[in-house]
Amino acid sequence: MSPTLNRRRTLAAALTTALLVPVLAACGSGDDKKDESASSPSAAPSSAGSAAPKAANLTVLAASSLTDVFKSAGAAYEKAHPGTKVTFSFAGSQELAAQVKQGAPADALVTADTRTMDGLKAETNSPTVIAKNRLVIASAKGNPFKIDELKDLADTKIKVVLAAPEVPVGRYGKQILDAQKVEVKPVSQEPNVRAVLGKVELGEADAGLVYKTDTLKSGDKVAVVDIPDGQNAVASYPAASLKGSKNADAAAAFVAWLSTPEAQKILQDAGFQKP
């Protein structure tokens, strides 16, 4: 082989090597970046937090004393959760408990006492107290009998209406009357607190024991007589999602929302106390 031909072949090999090195280096660099990206924590899907619950139609069973405030709360919740609709069914807590035990199609429950909720452990998830309340004496317009305190209700000339003893407000009422040794013979015992207030508003009774929050929208239809804290009872309102709910995530989300600052402001503006 001639020296000239040998030099040409050597030059060609060197040129080929020079061209291949950058290409191989580029390929290696790309693979390294790809491997680093795959192993980097930032490349992995984030698992922080849980996904927002899907929109759903929720049915919430709630104590009668929550009728007004929950209408406002439901509207606020729907606005913050587009696509979700909240429908409330209001009744005495004992009626709601019976519905739950009978398997009524519902997603969440809010009662006016912890005792009723505690009796439904097999049907509910862990409850959370969302608000508290106190009792007052609702007297007829203008307070014609000049009722000032609990012992005045013992006057047989006064037609007093109470909630039935199995209703939370009825049980609270009996508790505070017994503690003060006040004997009252009610003209009727109603199935929920709204029925008690209605009797007084309509003039069918002269006085009744109701929650303070229930009287806030009565205007001058009734006179409100406060009961001192030392003679009063505190009503706690627990909320829980139902195990039989077909919208478990959405129901749990609504119950959790009731403890948020937004929901608490709505409750407290309506006269309920902090939980």
User: What are the helix (H) ranges across 121-215?
Assistant: 168-179, 193-201
- Kindly state the average pLDDT of the residues 11-21: 42
Tens of pLDDT, residue by residue over 73-123, are: 999 999 999 999 999 999 999 999 999 999 999 999 999 999 999 999 999
- How confident is the model at residue 217, as a pLDDT? 87
Strands 85-91 and 128-140: unpaired
User: What is the chain's mean pLDDT, rounded?
Assistant: 86
CA angle 217, 182, 157 (to 5 degrees): 70
3-state secondary structure of 146: coil
Of residues 42 and 167, the one with the higher pLDDT is 167
206 has pLDDT over 70:
yes
> Is the pLDDT confidence value at 129 over 50?
yes
CB 137 within 8 A of CB 218: no
| Rama region for 5: left / alpha / beta (φ>0; ψ in -120 to 50; rest) | alpha
In CATH terms, are 57-132+236-269 and 133-234 the same topology? yes
Question: Is 170 a residue whose pLDDT tops 70?
Answer: yes
Task: Say what the pLDDT of residue 51 is.
Answer: 52
Alpha-carbon span 104 to 244, nearest angstrom: 9
**CATH code matching the domain that covers 133-234, chosen among 3.40.190.10, 1.10.3210.10, 3.40.1520.20, 3.30.930.10:** 3.40.190.10
Q: 18-22, 55-59, 203-207 — which one is most confidently predicted on average?
A: 203-207
Identify whether the C-beta of residue 119 lies closer than 8 Å to the C-beta of residue 238: no
Domain positions in the chain are 57-132+236-269, 133-234
59 half-sphere exposure, CB direction, 13 A CA radius: 11
> What is the reported pTM?
0.79
Q: What would the pLDDT profile of 42-60 be if each residue is shown by its tens digit?
A: 333 333 334 556 778 999 9
- Whether residue 142 is predicted with pLDDT greater than 50 in this model: the reply is yes
> Is the predicted pLDDT of residue 212 greater than 50, yes or no?
yes
CATH code of the domain made up of 57-132+236-269: 3.40.190.10
Nearest to 232 by CA among 176, 174, 154: 176
- Split at pLDDT 50, 70, 90, the class of 4 is very low
Tell me the C-alpha distance between 210 and 222, whole Å. Answer: 11
Q: How many CB atoms lie within 10 A of CB 66?
A: 27
Percent of the chain with pLDDT over 70: 81
What number of other Cβ atoms are within 10 A of residue 125's Cβ? Answer: 17
Who wins on pLDDT, 182 or 26? 182
pLDDT digits (tens, 9 = 90+) for 250-259: 999 999 999 9
| pLDDT score recorded for residue 53 | 66
Greater confidence, 7 or 53? 53
> Does residue 129 or residue 7 have the better pLDDT?
129
Query: Has residue 3 got a pLDDT over 60?
Result: no
Structure tokens given for 54: 């899907």
